[in-house]
Amino acid sequence: MPDDHAADSADLPDYVPPPDPPLRVPLRFEDWLTVLTLGALACITLANVIVRYLTAESFAWTEEISIFLLIVLTLSASSSAFVRLLHIRIELLADGGGSARRRRFALAAGTVSLLFFAGLTVLLGRMALDEYNWGDTSPAIGVPTWWYSMWLPVLSTVITLRLAGILRRAWERT
């Protein structure tokens, strides 16, 4: 007996995502970084699963690299999500009310997000510098940890610049 609540795929409209807003720097960088990171993460995880299944051992380095790739994936996808307005927000507040109210909320949210990621950029840069100065090495592979952490302030800077652009566009909106 078919499920009465299941929708027939012919009845569902095709979802077409809204076009990207006009930007001086297209989101191509973040999109490709997200796709490549997700692909690398899937390949590494699949290799670990296959090796673990066949040999009852695992690659120790896969966890270390997977954690790094998950962080890169989160930061790169966050950057494009902010620009496309697909980030987590309370739409009742963000999209409700008049245009002046929406603009105030956009400015407030943009300012708080910009300050957060600017601070995160500084802290991640200090962390990478500390790891470089102290010569920390990773437990599984034994490579310097700053090899991983030096990319985090770079990606956080990209998000900060994207947020600055969003805030500028929200400020110029009348």
Average pLDDT over residues 145-160: 94
Number of Cβ within 10 Å of residue 145's Cβ equals 21
SS3 state at 139: coil
pLDDT band at 4 (very low <50, low <70, confident <90, very high): low
Confidence of residue 152 (pLDDT cuts 50, 70, 90): very high
Q: Is 58 helix (H, G, I), strand (E, B) or coil?
A: coil
C-alpha separations of 165 from 18, 21, 161 in Å? 19, 11, 6
Contact indicator for 20, 83 with CB cutoff of 8 Å: yes
Distance in angstroms (rounded) separating the CA atoms of residues 74 and 83:
15
pLDDT cut 70: percent of the chain above it: 93
Q: Contact, 100 vs 108, CB < 8 A? A: no
* C-alpha Rg value of the chain to the nearest Å: 21
Q: What is the pLDDT of residues 106-144, one digit of tens each?
A: 898 889 999 999 999 999 999 999 999 999 998 888 899
pLDDT band (50, 70, 90) for residue 18: confident
